[in-house]
Amino acid sequence: MDEKALHEKIKNLRPELQEKVEDYVDFLIDKYQVQLKEPLYLSKEWFALKAQRDNYSIMQTAKSQAFEEGRKEVSIKTARALKENGYTVEKIADLTGLTKQQIEKL
């Protein structure tokens, strides 16, 4: 399928999708020099782009998990310090977001 045929198919989409799909196809063609000699989903470029998106998704997930673990670690350290300074379990729970059971285990 060539670029012209692809743009013709895009015209058959719902109006609210046409511009978005058109922009995305143009982006792929411009940025990655995607050749539309074969169906896009079978092309090497598609697999490369999919791998790139998958890697980005994995990195974002890992980043999010690391951030969450770091936040929990800070909450635990803060709770320990508050507990050592005589704060009540209820107050520590309010300040840190930890459960009463988590605080009592510290």
| pLDDT tens digits in sequence order for the chain, 106 residues long | 566 777 777 788 788 877 887 888 777 777 666 565 556 555 667 777 788 888 888 999 999 999 999 999 999 999 999 999 999 999 999 999 999 999 988 8
pTM, 2 dp: 0.47
Residue 5 lies in a domain: yes
Residue 104 lies in a domain: no
Residue 19 lies in a domain: yes
Region of residue 43 (left: phi > 0; alpha: psi -120 to 50; beta: else): beta
| pLDDT one-digit tens code per residue, 17-37 | 778 878 887 777 776 665 655
Residue 67 lies in a domain: no
Residue 17 lies in a domain: yes
Q: Reduced to 3 states, what is the DSSP secondary structure of residue 34? A: coil
Residue 14 lies in a domain: yes
Residue 101 lies in a domain: no
* Rounded Cα distance, 24 and 29, in Å: 9
Structure-token pair, residue 62 = 């890992």
Asked if 73 and 86 touch (Cβ cutoff 8 Å), the reply is no
Domain count for the chain: 1
Q: Reduced to 3 states, what is the DSSP secondary structure of residue 33? A: coil
Residue 15 lies in a domain: yes
The H-or-E segment that residue 21 falls in is: helix 15-32
**Residue-number span of the structural domain to which 30 is assigned:** 1-37
